[in-house]
Structure 1
Amino acid sequence: MRNDMISGLFGAMTCEYRMNIIANNLANAHTTGFKQEKLAFEDVFVSYAHDEIRQPVLSVREKELFPEAVNLAQVRLAGTKTDFSQGSFKNSENPLDVAISGPGFFKLQTDDGLLYTRNGNFHLTADGTLVNADGFEVQGDGGAIVLPPNTRVDINESGQIFADGALTAQLDVVEVQDPDVALEKYGQNLYRPREEGAVVEQEAQQSTVNQGFLEAANINIIEEMVNMIETQRAFEAYSKVMSNSNDTCLKSIAKVGKSTS
């Protein structure tokens, strides 16, 4: 297959993948605590046999190449990266809603073990257990947090929870070293370790808890729409490259061996 056809194919596939990421970002633009995904790229270097000759050879070249020979570089996807930058705050006026200012995470007990989230939209069950919208228990310093019924709840910046003025529980807010490397998206706006032992937790030192607020998604809708248009145009261009390459091949095949007399 011609190299221009391969380049066009991988370019179009890259655009398709990027479009899926952009569409998911836009779909979650109003999801509390959502962190946008970004694509990471890397170069794939294609070399030829004579590029591997380190020393000058008169039949090939008189001098060493500088920098080292790389005849062709093609861009490929290296993967996606989660942007954990801070989202803006919106006032919910709900005393059980909390937003983290800083790099911290809440911890939830789920069917698959302890997971992390930035979504602080919590509520109480009938027995007073603090849970998220999916019913997962919010973790405190002693496990699940249970609050007395019919009490005024106050939460300070350190995550301490007071019921009618009495200290009742402590939100487990932790910071993770290199979260974009250690964590991956699990679904339901949750994060899990990429592999066992990948997460190194530490006490929240740069994070504060804000009662009555929720963190908005860190997505710029206009920027994402521009990215979508750009990706669509790039896909069309790569499709044109493949079409032109195919036309060239067909014309070459038709002319090979054709009598010129």
Structure 2
Amino acid sequence: MWRGLYTAGTGMITESKRTDTLANNLANANTTGFKRDEAISREFHPMLIKRINDGINHNDVTSFKQFHVGEQYPVVGTLGLGSYIDEIATEHSQGAFETTGNPLDLAISGNGYFAIQTENGVRYTRDGNFYKSARGEIQTVNGQTVLGRNGRGITIPQDTVSIMVGSKGEVYADNVQIGQLQFVQFDNRRAVLKQGNNLYYPQEGARPAPATGEIQQGMLERSNTNVVSEMVELINNYRMYEAGSKAVTTQDAMLDKSVNDVGRLT
């Protein structure tokens, strides 16, 4: 019975973590460049159950002092031991484009990331909602510098009338190229992990390469979260959690009866 409590409990913990993931997806449904997460669960290794003292002929000539040659206990089946969250995987499918007309709004079509300078080092993002600071430097909404190919920021002259950004990140001020954005990708999408604030950090040994995607100026890539699908999954997740809760209640009632009724001395 104790095993039943633990099995149901691990299921509830799994569904609780899945709920957190779904809630985070819904909270970022309108976040530019956000990629939804998927909680991947895995079952603990099941236990093989056999019946003991069943089907063995103890009068057999091969039996001697409770030792039996060639014992084959009948197999009952396997017993599940619960589940756990094995991985929080990020779905990198393309989000829809939204036209803004802002020359510093950049969307990525295909593979690629923008490089951002943060307090913790270089980070990567697909959020192309950029601004020009008071000093003319291209920055994120959080005031972080958007890096160019030379590893430094790009400064737009104060008297610039028109700003153009090419498909590979070339930045032009009044038709004069003033720099190029650091537009990169990683051969393995698992090479970068989410840090928070729509930023990714590279795993140890990951090396960026020139991106094969293209930059679309005057657009933003919306989140790839489908609100309807997430809500349906959230309802299903709630029912799974509720089933685990009922299983725990049932196991608790059985333990109560076995301790207080079956085990009572008369």
Band the TM-score falls in, shorter-chain normalisation: 0.7 to 0.9
**Contact 2:163 2:171 (C-alpha < 8 Å) held by counterparts:** yes
Shift of 1:163: 0.7
Alignment of 1:75-154 (within 5 A): 75-142=83-150, 143-151=152-160, 152-154=162-164
2:170 aligned to 134, 143, 160, which one?
A: 160
Deviation at 1:84, TM superposition (A): 1.3
Q: Alignment RMSD, CA only?
A: 2.1
Q: Give, in whole Å, the separation in 2 of the partners of 1:235 and 1:252.
A: 26
Counterpart Cα distance in 1 of 2:260 and 2:78: 34
Q: Return 5+ residue gaps in structure 2 as ranges.
A: 51-68
2:183 to 173, 184, 190: 173
Q: TM-score, normalised by structure 1?
A: 0.87
SS of alignment partner, residue 94 of structure 2: coil
Give the direction of change, closer, same or farther, for the CA distance of 1:169–1:87 in structure 2 (3 Å limit).
same
Question: 5 Å matches for 1:22-37?
Answer: 22-37=22-37
5 Å-filtered alignment, 1:193-212, equals 193-194=202-203, 196-197=204-205, 199-205=206-212, 207-212=213-218
SS in 2 for 1:251: helix
Q: For residue 223 of structure 1, what is the aligned residue in structure 2?
A: 229
- Determine the structure 2 residue equivalent to 1:182: 191
Q: Which amino acid aligns with 1:26?
A: L
Local SS of the residue matching 1:238: helix
The equivalent of 2:253 in structure 1 is 247
2:39 corresponds to:
39
Describe the SS at the equivalent of 1:15: helix
CA drift at 1:186:
1.2
Contact in 2 for aligned 1:35/1:84 (Cα 8 Å):
yes
Residues 257 and 9 (structure 1), Cα distance of their counterparts in 2 relative to 1, 3 Å cut: closer
Tell me, which stretches of 5 or more residues in structure 1 are unaligned?
A: 51-56
Give the conservation status (yes or no) of the 8 Å contact 1:45–1:70.
no
Matching of residue 58 in structure 1 with residue 70 in structure 2: yes
Distance, in Å, in 2 between the alignment partners of 1:259 and 1:155 is 85
Cα distance, 1:49 vs. partner? Answer: 9.7
Q: Which residue of 1 is the match for residue 59 of structure 2?
A: none
**Contact 2:30/2:222 (8 A) holds in 1:** yes
The equivalent of 1:2 in structure 2 is 2
In 2, Cα distance between equivalents of 1:70 and 1:35: 38
Stretches of 4+ moved more than 4 A in 1?
Answer: 257-260
- Number of aligned residues: 245
Any idea what the Cα deviations from partners look like across 1:69-108, whole Å, max 9, x if unmatched? 9654632210201111111100111001100001100001
The share of aligned pairs that are identical, in percent, is: 35
- Residues 137-183 of structure 1, C-alpha deviations (whole Å, 9 max, x = no match): 1111122111112321011212111111111111111011222x211
